[in-house]
């Protein structure tokens, strides 16, 4: 199997220029089937968080399994309505923003099924307008349970001084009478035990407001498709919660959809020496793999090991002028040479949704490997992608 993947990769590089992200349909569908099993057995609705995975060329497949999308503003809401809902007319569009702009709210109300306000102030300011535009729209308030075991502060929506969601002390009971549901988001690539810890505090502090609600949204960060995730426990928790409070439950994972569904392919451009060999690639951690620096985490490289684990150790660096544009140190069985392929595994979620044209570096192409093995280049980026972001 490994040899076949290597041969396939070599053949692909003959007609697809690096860098590129490649998503494998069969792996994506594997994740979608797991998520669909959770929602069918628990009764929850699972919707795609576009902030984590927005490869809309796959939406025909995704829409077969998930119930809609959650958007973080007008543009994501439009993408959901225009590109997802055409494959599933019954799909729901949920739109949240830390603060809605008055100039956007009319369009958002027209294309959203749910609108999630971050504060009682925003709810009271815009409620009349969105209801006038779309009388059927569901209204929700995001709450901050003030508990989280998120591994990094940058990804902790319940951290100290967080602007995301309304804390118990800042709830407006009059505003709560006008909502159909409540949302919270407290996890970051975590197992079900983290959800249980949040729910325990959530119920203690907020359950008195659950009466007459239609739904609660448990947010994202549920690492459901990761090996070892306790799916049976999650299903039990959701079923118990739904029965206890007579509410619909939503989950909105992003990384769990794109988790381990593909890679970023790069090429060695040069090898320099500075107390160790350094391979310069035609890609960038800063521009193309931003979470490896923000999280931070070490991306796996196909066929490589940890430093000095194998015979030849190299530092892999990006092709920008940022000194810290470094992927990390990796070891290989054979020396690297110019033209070699370097494959960073699991680079589909939170990569191309966050990448940049910093330093004018070329954006990686988007490639889809179909179920039957055919490879389709769905998007290539040239100079215009850089130019048109500037003026």
Contacts of 292 (CB under 8 A, 6+ apart): 285, 298, 299, 327, 328
C-alpha angle 266-361-375 in degrees, rounded to nearest 5: 40
Lowest mean pLDDT segment, chosen from 46-60, 138-152, 182-196, 294-308: 138-152
Contact predicate 35/226, CB 8 Å: no
Spatial separation of the C-alpha atoms in residues 74 and 106, rounded to whole Å: 10
pLDDT greater than 70 at residue 1? no
Contacts of 306 (CB under 8 A, 6+ apart): 329, 330, 331
Contact predicate 157/148, CB 8 Å: yes
Contact predicate 31/253, CB 8 Å: no
Neighbours of 313 (CB within 10 A): 17
Contact predicate 19/364, CB 8 Å: yes
Question: What does the pLDDT average to over 314-341?
Answer: 97
- What pLDDT, on the 0 to 100 scale, is given for residue 296? 85
- What pLDDT, on the 0 to 100 scale, is given for residue 177? 93
Percent of the chain with pLDDT over 70: 96
What is the DSSP code (8-state) at residue 124? H
Q: How confident is the model at residue 12 (pLDDT cuts 50, 70, 90)?
A: low
Site of tokens 């009764």: 43
- What pLDDT, on the 0 to 100 scale, is given for residue 11? 52
Of 37, 65, 69, nearest in space to 55 by CA: 69
- What pLDDT, on the 0 to 100 scale, is given for residue 155? 87
- What pLDDT, on the 0 to 100 scale, is given for residue 251? 98
DSSP-assigned states of every residue in 71-100:
ESSHHHHHHIIIIITTT-TT-EEEEE-SS-
Contact predicate 243/278, CB 8 Å: no
- What pLDDT, on the 0 to 100 scale, is given for residue 10? 46
Tokens of 214: 């239609």
pLDDT greater than 80 at residue 4? no
**Domains of the chain, CATH where assigned:** 2-19+262-347+362-387 (2.40.37.10), 26-258 (3.20.20.10)
Q: How confident is the model at residue 14 (pLDDT cuts 50, 70, 90)?
A: low
pLDDT greater than 60 at residue 13? no
Which has more pLDDT, 157 or 304? Answer: 304
- What pLDDT, on the 0 to 100 scale, is given for residue 154? 86
DSSP-assigned states of every residue in 260-315:
TSEEEEEEEEEEEESSSEEEEESS-HHHH-HHHHHTT----BTT-BSTTTSSEEEE
pLDDT in tens, 218-229: 999 999 999 999
Neighbours of 337 (CB within 10 A): 9
Tokens of 283: 């890609």
pLDDT greater than 70 at residue 293? yes
Question: What does the pLDDT average to over 327-353?
Answer: 97
Question: What does the pLDDT average to over 362-391?
Answer: 96
Site of tokens 């407001």: 209
């Amino acid at each position: 199997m490994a040899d076949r993947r290597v041969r396939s990769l070599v053949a692909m590089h003959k007609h697809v220029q690096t860098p590129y992200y490649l998503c494998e349909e069969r792996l994506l569908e594997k994740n979608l089937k797991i998520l669909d099993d959770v929602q069918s057995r628990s009764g929850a609705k699972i919707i795609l968080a576009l902030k984590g995975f927005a490869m809309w060329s796959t939406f025909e497949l995704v829409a077969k399994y998930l119930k809609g999308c959650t958007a973080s503003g007008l543009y994501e809401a439009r993408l959901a309505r225009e590109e997802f809902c055409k494959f599933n007319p019954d799909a729901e569009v949920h739109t949240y923003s830390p603060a809605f702009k008055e100039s956007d709210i009319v369009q958002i109300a027209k294309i959203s099924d749910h609108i999630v306000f971050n504060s009682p102030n925003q709810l009271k300011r815009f409620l009349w307008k969105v209801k006038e535009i779309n009388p059927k729209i569901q209204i929700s308030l995001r709450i901050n349970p003030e508990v989280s075991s998120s591994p990094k502060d940058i990804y902790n929506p319940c951290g100290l001084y967080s602007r995301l969601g309304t804390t118990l002390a800042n709830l407006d009971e009059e505003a709560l009478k006008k909502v159909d549901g409540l949302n919270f988001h407290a996890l970051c690539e975590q197992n079900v035990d983290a959800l249980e810890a949040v729910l325990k505090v959530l119920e203690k502090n907020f359950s008195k407001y659950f009466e007459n609600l239609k739904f609660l949204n448990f947010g994202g960060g549920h690492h459901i498709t990761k090996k070892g995730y306790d799916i049976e426990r999650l299903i039990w928790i959701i079923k118990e919660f739904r029965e206890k409070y007579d509410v619909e439950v939503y989950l909105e994972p992003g990384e769990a959809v794109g988790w381990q569904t593909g890679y970023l392919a790069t090429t060695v451009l040069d090898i320099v020496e500075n107390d160790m060999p350094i391979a310069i690639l035609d890609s960038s951690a800063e521009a193309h793999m931003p979470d490896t620096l923000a999280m931070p985490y070490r991306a796996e490289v196909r066929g490589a090991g940890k430093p000095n684990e194998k015979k030849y150790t190299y530092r892999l660096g990006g092709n920008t002028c940022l000194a810290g544009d470094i992927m990390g140190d990796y070891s290989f069985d054979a020396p690297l040479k110019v033209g070699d392929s370097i494959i960073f595994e699991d680079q589909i979620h939170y990569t191309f949704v966050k990448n940049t044209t910093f330093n004018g570096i070329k954006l990686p192409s988007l490639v889809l490997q179909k179920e039957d093995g055919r490879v389709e280049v769905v998007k290539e980026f040239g100079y215009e992608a850089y130019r048109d972001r500037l003026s």
